[in-house]
Amino acid sequence: MIVKPFGPAGRDVPAIGQGTWNIPLRGAAADEAKRALRRGIERGMVHIDSAEMYGDGGAERVAGDAIRGLPRESLFIVSKVLPSNATARGTIAACERSLRRLGLDYLDCYLLHWRGTVPLRETMHALERLVADGKIRTLGVSNFDVDDLAEARSVLEREPIACNQVLYHLNERTIEAHELPYARRHGIATVAYTPFGRGAYERAAGFATLAEIAARRGATPAQVVLAFLTREPDTFAIPKAASAAHTAENAAAGELRLDPDELAAIDRAFPAGRRRGGLPSL
Ligand code: NAP
């Protein structure tokens, strides 16, 4: 698994992590999802992404079961506060609830899920308070455009922004125009959510290029997608997989380095296009 520094002076984190949105919460499917997460961790995908929003805290509980008993320092656990909870006191309380559901005493990174109506200064200071209190190691944001990133940086007093988690897949490369270069200039990691784009790449004309590269490299098209999105030293992806077969496939993508010709061919097959409008999100 390729690992790289996550944000300024950040820890080494695997290029490919594991998402938990829409993870099954009950019954045999939840047991399979826990096994899948665990298998993913064993294969190096120790970055687990969750949020208080996912399943109303249920996803954090499932993730908590999956990581129970594993050495804490080997894991990189991320969760997110809902904008509606992101006041000075609400952020602290939300983090404490997430920690309880995950069975942890600190998070590796804690993000504002998207920007809401609470002043950014208030939320960012609450996140800095959580760092000072040892409840989170680093702080980050999600669905932030360049103006939001600049404002967040300007109101933070002590801590840098570790990451911006954004919608990024082969059919949605908007972030490459502004958010990714801005993040790079300021040492902020970019984390690609929904990296498979609801399967849009499979229906696109460019799929033949992916299939051809995959066949040549003994890989699958999904693995080529993940390798492309994480091709830069500061880009990460967090696919969600509820089956152990998908988890194994995604983890193996973390070993795949595409060469410049392959990257150029994918770039032509799935062009970034000209930026129109703001930052897209789900
Ligand atoms: P995704 O990871 O792009 O896609 C998940 C779907 O892909 C599932 O149906 C999964 O199937 C399937 N899949 C997984 N591995 C596969 C493989 N190797 N080959 C073929 N199909 C595969 O979509 P997502 O869940 O929307 O995004 C990933 C994570 O990003 C989320 O879980 C969440 O943690 C985070 N996220 C964050 C935000 C935000 O606003 N910050 C928004 C959306 C998502 P199975 O489940 O059946 O294995």
pLDDT 10s digits, 146-188 = 999 999 999 999 999 999 999 999 999 999 999 999 999 999 9
Any ligand 1 atom below 6 A from CB of 32: no
| Residues 173, 54, 16: CA angle, nearest 5 degrees | 45
Q: State how far the Cα of 253 lies from the Cα of 12, in Å rounded to an integer.
A: 17
Confidence of residue 275 (pLDDT cuts 50, 70, 90): confident
18: CA distance to ligand 1 center in Å?
8
| pTM of the predicted protein model | 0.98
**24: three-class secondary structure by DSSP:** coil
Contacts of 81 (CB under 8 A, 6+ apart): 52, 90, 91, 94, 95, 98, 110, 111, 112, 113, 123
pLDDT of 9 above 80: no
Confidence of residue 273 (pLDDT cuts 50, 70, 90): confident
Candidate from 18, 111, 193 with most ligand 1 atoms within 8 A of CB, to mutate: 193
Confidence of residue 251 (pLDDT cuts 50, 70, 90): very high
DSSP H stretches of helix in 55-158: 58-67, 88-102, 120-132, 146-155
Residue with CA closest to ligand 1 atom 17: 246
- Ligand 1 atom closest to the CA of 249, numbered from 1: 18
**7: three-class secondary structure by DSSP:** coil
Residue with CA closest to ligand 1 atom 48: 241
54: CA distance to ligand 1 center in Å?
13
For the residues of 193-210, what is the DSSP string, one character each?
ESTTGGGHHHHSTTHHHH
197: CA distance to ligand 1 center in Å?
8
Any ligand 1 atom below 6 A from CB of 29: no
Confidence of residue 276 (pLDDT cuts 50, 70, 90): confident
114: CA distance to ligand 1 center in Å?
18
Quickly count: other Cβ atoms within 10 Å of residue 233's Cβ: 11
